[in-house]
Structure 1
Amino acid sequence: NKNESPQWEPICLYKKGELIDTMTTTNDGAIHTKELPLGKYELIETSTPVGYMPADPITVELTPGAQDIRVISKTQRIVDEKQSFEFNFIKTFEESSWFQYHDIAGRETRFGLFTRHPLIINDVTLPADSCLDITELDEHFTGSFTTDFAGEYYIKELTTHEAYSLADDVEITAFYKPEGQQKETIHLIEPIKNKIKRGDLNILKVDSETGAGLAGATFKLYTIKDQSPVDIGLFTTDQEGKISVHNLEYGQYFLTELNPPDGYYPNDNVTELSIDGIQELMLEIANLATITEVRKTGDSTDLLAGAELLIKDSEGEIVSRFTSGAEPHTIRGLIAGEIYTLVEETPPAGYKRNPDPVTFTVSEDGSVNQINISNQQTEVVITKRDAMTDEPLAGAEIEIYDSSGTLIYKGITDHNGQIKVNGLIPGAYSYCEVQPPLGYAQNPSIFSFVIDSFGQTTGELDFTNEPTELIIKKTTEDGQLLADAHFKIVNETGQSVTFRTEEGFYAVDRQGDIHTLISDNQDLICIRYLPQGTYKITEVQAPAGYEVGDPTTVVITSSTSTSNPQHISISNRPLPTLAKSTNSGIQNLPRTGESRTTIMLSLCLIGCAGILFGTFRQKRHRPKKKS
C-alpha cells in the first residue's frame, strides 16, 4: 500500500527479461505505464519506500478483448510490508566482595530507548533524545527494544540499585535493508555493565584538647555479612594523624580503635559509617591524653615548690624532667598501662632528698593518675657531751651562722644534750657555744657543717665541755701538805655549796649532803662542776696544832677546766707552844693537888681522843682516791 509511504521508489517493467520501462509511484502510490503491446510483463520493485520491505515481483498479461482488437487497461495492487528492528542486550552487575547487591539489582533496573537525532515518522518530527520505549530486565538480566523505524538510537539506563552507578549510554543504529528480513534483530555484543559505587574514607586522629594530629593509632574497619563481622583491614595513622582508605564499596561499615596513640586513653566508641559513592567521607576521632599529677609534699599536705624530679619508663629512659611548683605538676601523654618510676633529683630548699623512687602504672580507664612523693625537712642535730663522762649535757647555749656570718639560729641543748634545727637550706654553716652548761668551761672552738643539695648533713655535730675544776692545796708555811683541814664554800649569794663524792674529786651537787670538804695529806682537794662565779672558801677547822687559815676568794671563769684548773693554796701557821718566863725566872708549876705526871696524862688522853674523832670524820667525808 504505497499510500502509507511518503517516499516513492522506481518500479521496473520487464518482458521476457528485457527492461521495457522504469516507473516511479506517484503521491497516491500509483504507477501508470505507457501503451504497451499485448503480452505478458513482469513488475519488479527495485527499491522501496523507507521502512518497507520490497514486494514480490508481479506478472501482468495484456490480452485483446472479444471480437475487437483493443487494449484493455489492467490495474494491479503492489503491497509492501514494513521492516522492524529488535535490539537485544544483556545486563551484568559487578559483584561485591562483602555485600549481596547482585541478586536484587536486576529488579530495580530500567532502560529507555532514545533517539539520537531528530526522527521523522508519518510527517511528524521527533526531536533528539526522545524516549521511544522503556523496558525492564527479565530473570536472566536481559532486555530488548522493538522499533519500526530505522535510525540512530541509544539505550540509556534510567534506574538501578542504589549501590550501583548508572551504566554509560549505549549507541545503536538501525538500517533498512531491502534484502533484509522483515524484522532485523540486533544484538549488543558487549553487555551493559554496572559498577558498584565506591568512595574514599579519610580518618583524622586528634588530641581532644589541642586538636593536634596523633600518629600511631590503629583502627580496624569491618562490615557485617550474614550477621557476622567481616574484616576489611587494619589501618594506622601516619605522622599527621591521618588514614586514607580508597575505593570502598558502597555500604555500611564499622570502625573501631584497636590501639590508641602512645600516651592516650583508648577511644572505645564504635563508629558506624556509610559509603555512598557520592562524596568522600571524613571522620575526626579524638583521644584524651593520659594525665598524671605529681604532688610534692612535706611534713603536711601542703605542696612544696622547687624539687627537681624526673620520670623514667620501664627501659630506664627519661621521659619527663620537671620542677615542682605550688600546684600539682601535670604530665600528659604517658602510655596507659605502662610502668614508670618517679625519681627525685634535688629536694626543695630546706628538705632532704627522698631516696626512694616511686613506681606507678598509668591507668587505662581514663582516670587521672595522682602520684605523691613527700620529703622530710633537713634536720641538723648538734649534741653536747661531758668530755669526762660522755654524758649528754643540757643547758648549753649555741648559735648557728650561715656562710655569710648571719646568725640564723640560737638555742639551748635539751635533756638529751641536743639542739635540733629543721629546714636549713643547702650550704655551709658554723656554730659555737656562747654559754656553757652550769659547772662547765666554755668550749671556745668554732665548729662547721655542710648541708648538700640532697639535704644530707656532714661535719662536726658533736662537741664536748670539760667540767670546771678547782684544786685546793692545804700546806704548812714551809709547803708541807696538811691533812684534816675542813672547808666550806659559799657562792656569791651566800649560799653554801653542797657536794657529792666521786672517784678522786668532790662534785658540786645541789642535792648533795656534803657541806664540808676535808684535805688529805696524800692528795689535794679537787672540786669539779663549780658554775662560773666568785666563791668564798672558809676553813672551818684547822689541822691539829695549827691555826685556822684566813678565808680565801676564788673566781671560776669560762676557761676554768680540767685541762686548765684553778689552783689555790691555803697555808696554816702552827699554834703557839707553852714557854718559860725569862723575866722572873719562875717556872710555872702545877696547881695545888696536881702533879706533872697527872697533867701530862690528861693531855695525852685528850689528844688521842681528838685524833680518833678526826680520823672518823675524814674517812666519812673524804673523796675516794683514783685507782
Structure 2
Amino acid sequence: APQAYYLDESNYPVAVMENETTYLVEVQNERVMVYIRVRKFDSHTLLPLAGARFQILEDTSDQEGASQARSTAREVLEELVTDAEGQARTSRPLPVGSYRLVEVAPPPGYSSGEEQNFQIDRDSDCIILDGSYKALDLQAGNQPVQLEFSKKTLTGEEELPGAYLALIDQETGAILDEWVSGHNPHAISCLLVGKTYCLREIKAPPGYALSEDMVFTVKDTESVQSIEMRDGLTRVVLQKQDEDTKEPLSNVGFEIRDEEGKPIEFVRKEDGVYLWKALSTKGDKSSLVTDAQGRITIRGLPAGTYTLVETQLPQGYLRPQKPSVLTVAAGASEESPCTFCLENKKSSLTIRKVDAITNQPLEGAVLDLFNQKGRKIQSGRTDSRGLLTFTGLSPGDYTVREADAPQAYRKSDEQLKISIDEYGQTQGELVFKNTPEGAPPTGESPLAYILGPAFIALAGLIILLLFFLQRRRTKA
C-alpha cells in the first residue's frame, strides 16, 4: 500500500477471458489517521495524575533550518490536559508523520517528565477506543518533587538536632509543615514547581543563634533538592568600665545565674573566649574574669534572661546595689552579638574639717588616711569648703589623722575611725574639728573661754576698790 495508507487485505475476484476485453478493478486504501491518548501516572505508586498539561508538536528536527526550540506557535498541533483518571485524548486524529509530546506543566507537586518522540505510520501499534477509533497510547510517569531540609552548624556537616522549624508559603504566609530537627534530614514531597517558600527557624537549639529566614523556589527536577540552614553559636560580650572615666576594668569576676538562681558553667578556650560547658566535650569549669580590655566574650549561652553577679570586685570600686539583668536575644549571633556595658563607681570617703567653736569650714588642713594595718595610703589638703575626699578605697576599716593644722589653729590629736562596706556605706564620724590657737582645748566650754578674762578683770577691780575703801577708813 502507499506509505500513508493501510494495506487493503481484501480479496477481489478477477475473471480472465479469452478476448482482449479489459476489466477495471477498484481497490480503496484507508488513510492512516490516528488519535493520541496520553496516560499520566505517579512513577512510584502508578496512581493516575490529573492536571498535567501537554503539547503535541510536529517534529521538524530533520528539516533544514528548523527551529530547535521546545515549542513554537507554528508547531503546536494540540494541547492536552489530563483528567481525574490521568488521561487526555486529542480531539482529532493525526496523519502519518513524526511528532513530539512535550509536558509544559507537570501535575501539582510533580516534576516534568521527559519529552517523547513518536511516529505515526501504518505499522503503529494502536488500540481501539470507544469501539471504533484507532489511537496511539502514550504513557508518561512523573516523579514527585522531593526536598530534604537539613539543620547544621556553621562548620560541621552533621545534622544539628533540636531546632524548631516551619515551612511557610511565601505568598500566603500559611504554615505548611512544622518539625523539630533530628539526626537525619526532614523530607517533604509534592511541593509545587516554580513556587516560592520560606524555611523559618522558630526556636534554635540551646546555645545557638536564631537563623534568618531562607526563601527558596522549587526547581523542576527529578533529583532530590537539598535545603540547608546553618546555625552559629550565640555571642555575648560583657564590657566592664569605670562609671566616670569609661576606662576598662580588668580582673573583675562574674557569675551568671539562670532564672532559678543556679550558676551557669563555662569552659575557657585557648582564644580567651568562654564557651557554655554543655557544648564542650573538653576542658574544666572556668570562672568568668574580664581581660585587659575589661571584656568577657561568651559563646553558646542559650537565649533567655539571667542574673549577673560580681564575684570579684575591681580594686577601689563599689559593688552595684543590685545584680544586673542579662537578657540574651535569640538572634545574638557572631555578626550581631548581645553587648552589655557594666559600670562600677569608685568608692570614696569625704572628711569635713570645721572650726570647733564656730563650726565654719577650714581650708588647708592636711589629713592622712591609714588602712587597718596602720599603713598610710593617701594624704590630702582640705579645700575652701573644708572638704577632702579620698577615692578608690576597698571595703575595710580606716583611720584619719591630721598631719598639719590650718593656719592659726592647733593640730588635732583626734583620730577618726571609719568603716566602708562593699556598697560604699560608711560607719563612723566624718567631721574633723580644730581649735583656734589660744582657745581652750577641745572639750572645754567655749563660753568659759570667752568670759574668763572678763571675770578676772572684774575680780581685780573689786579687789582694788576694796583696797581703797580700807585705806580711807584707816585715815579716818
Select which of 414, 423, 430 maps to 2:307. Answer: 430
Secondary structure in structure 2 of the residue aligned to 1:346: strand
**TM superposition shift of 1:470:** 0.9
Select which of 389, 406, 415 maps to 1:526. Answer: 389
**TM superposition shift of 1:455:** 6.7
Q: Does the alignment pair 1:488 with 2:334? A: no
Q: Does the alignment pair 1:308 with 2:165? A: yes
**TM superposition shift of 1:363:** 3.8
Q: Does the alignment pair 1:346 with 2:225? A: no
Q: Describe the shift of the 1:205–1:196 C-alpha distance in structure 2 as closer, same or farther (beyond 3 A).
A: same
Q: What do residues 550-593 of structure 1 show as CA deviations (whole Å, max 9, x unaligned)?
A: 555533211216xx69753445677899xxxxxxxxxxxxxxxx
Q: Describe the shift of the 1:540–1:451 C-alpha distance in structure 2 as closer, same or farther (beyond 3 A).
A: closer
User: Alignment length, in residue pairs?
Assistant: 384
Distance (Å, rounded) in 1 between the aligned partners of 2:345 and 2:429: 16
The answer for the alignment partner of 1:167 in structure 2 is: none
- Give the conservation status (yes or no) of the 8 Å contact 2:237–2:339: no
Distance (Å, rounded) in 2 between the aligned partners of 1:333 and 1:565: 77
The answer for the alignment partner of 1:408 in structure 2 is: 264
Larger radius of gyration: 1
Distance (Å, rounded) in 1 between the aligned partners of 2:341 and 2:360: 43
Larger deviation, residues 408-417 vs 303-312: 408-417
Select which of 92, 102, 108 maps to 1:257. Answer: 102
Q: Describe the shift of the 1:222–1:447 C-alpha distance in structure 2 as closer, same or farther (beyond 3 A).
A: closer
The answer for the alignment partner of 1:466 in structure 2 is: 345
Q: What do residues 419-475 of structure 1 show as CA deviations (whole Å, max 9, x unaligned)?
A: 555444454433444444322222222444555777799x99665443312122345
The amino acid that maps onto 2:348 is: E
The answer for the alignment partner of 2:468 in structure 1 is: none
The answer for the alignment partner of 2:4 in structure 1 is: 100
Secondary structure in structure 1 of the residue aligned to 2:264: strand
The amino acid that maps onto 1:217 is: A
Q: Does the alignment pair 1:213 with 2:48? A: yes
**TM superposition shift of 1:291:** 4.1
Q: What do residues 472-502 of structure 1 show as CA deviations (whole Å, max 9, x unaligned)?
A: 234565566554443433445666535xxxx
Distance (Å, rounded) in 1 between the aligned partners of 2:294 and 2:428: 26
The amino acid that maps onto 1:267 is: G
The answer for the alignment partner of 1:557 in structure 2 is: 421
TM-score w.r.t. length of structure 2 = 0.61
Q: Describe the shift of the 1:275–1:551 C-alpha distance in structure 2 as closer, same or farther (beyond 3 A).
A: same
The amino acid that maps onto 2:50 is: A
- Give the conservation status (yes or no) of the 8 Å contact 1:546–1:574: yes
Q: Does the alignment pair 1:144 with 2:14? A: yes
The answer for the alignment partner of 2:269 in structure 1 is: none
- Give the conservation status (yes or no) of the 8 Å contact 2:362–2:386: no
- Give the conservation status (yes or no) of the 8 Å contact 1:438–1:532: no
- Give the conservation status (yes or no) of the 8 Å contact 2:241–2:343: yes
Distance (Å, rounded) in 2 between the aligned partners of 1:110 and 1:204: 34
Q: Describe the shift of the 1:269–1:451 C-alpha distance in structure 2 as closer, same or farther (beyond 3 A).
A: same
**TM superposition shift of 1:387:** 4.6
The amino acid that maps onto 2:41 is: V
The answer for the alignment partner of 1:580 in structure 2 is: none
Secondary structure in structure 2 of the residue aligned to 1:403: coil
The answer for the alignment partner of 1:275 in structure 2 is: 124
Distance (Å, rounded) in 2 between the aligned partners of 1:250 and 1:481: 122
Q: How does 1:43-58 map to 2 (within 5 A)?
A: none
Secondary structure in structure 2 of the residue aligned to 1:275: coil
Distance (Å, rounded) in 1 between the aligned partners of 2:228 and 2:428: 61
- Give the conservation status (yes or no) of the 8 Å contact 1:536–1:552: yes
Select which of 140, 145, 152 maps to 1:285. Answer: 140
TM-score w.r.t. length of structure 1 = 0.48
**TM superposition shift of 1:333:** 3.7
**TM superposition shift of 1:548:** 5.8
Gaps of 5+ in 2: 18-23, 67-74, 129-134, 266-286, 440-476
Select which of 293, 317, 324 maps to 1:440. Answer: 317
Secondary structure in structure 2 of the residue aligned to 1:407: coil
Q: Describe the shift of the 1:110–1:467 C-alpha distance in structure 2 as closer, same or farther (beyond 3 A).
A: closer
Distance (Å, rounded) in 2 between the aligned partners of 1:223 and 1:573: 123
Select which of 65, 80, 89 maps to 1:235. Answer: 80
The amino acid that maps onto 1:241 is: G
Q: How does 1:374-385 map to 2 (within 5 A)?
A: 374-375=230-231, 377-381=233-237, 384=240
- Give the conservation status (yes or no) of the 8 Å contact 2:234–2:331: no
Select which of 112, 132, 140 maps to 1:266. Answer: 112
Secondary structure in structure 2 of the residue aligned to 1:497: strand
Q: What do residues 285-319 of structure 1 show as CA deviations (whole Å, max 9, x unaligned)?
A: 33334444444445434554414233435x44647
Give the aligned CA root-mean-square deviation in angstroms: 4.9
The answer for the alignment partner of 1:322 in structure 2 is: 178
Distance (Å, rounded) in 2 between the aligned partners of 1:565 and 1:210: 87
- Give the conservation status (yes or no) of the 8 Å contact 1:470–1:527: yes
Q: Describe the shift of the 1:278–1:327 C-alpha distance in structure 2 as closer, same or farther (beyond 3 A).
A: closer
- Give the conservation status (yes or no) of the 8 Å contact 2:354–2:386: no
Gaps of 5+ in 1: 1-92, 112-134, 136-142, 148-186, 499-515, 578-627
Distance (Å, rounded) in 2 between the aligned partners of 1:385 and 1:487: 30
Secondary structure in structure 2 of the residue aligned to 1:445: coil
Q: How does 1:145-184 map to 2 (within 5 A)?
A: 145=15
Distance (Å, rounded) in 2 between the aligned partners of 1:389 and 1:473: 26
**TM superposition shift of 1:271:** 4.2
- Give the conservation status (yes or no) of the 8 Å contact 1:401–1:429: yes
**TM superposition shift of 1:526:** 1.0
Distance (Å, rounded) in 1 between the aligned partners of 2:365 and 2:58: 119
Q: What do residues 138-170 of structure 1 show as CA deviations (whole Å, max 9, x unaligned)?
A: xxxxx43489xxxxxxxxxxxxxxxxxxxxxxx
The amino acid that maps onto 1:100 is: A
**TM superposition shift of 1:263:** 4.0
- Give the conservation status (yes or no) of the 8 Å contact 1:379–1:423: yes
The amino acid that maps onto 1:312 is: D
Distance (Å, rounded) in 2 between the aligned partners of 1:565 and 1:310: 65
Q: Describe the shift of the 1:231–1:426 C-alpha distance in structure 2 as closer, same or farther (beyond 3 A).
A: closer
The amino acid that maps onto 1:308 is: L
**TM superposition shift of 1:265:** 3.5
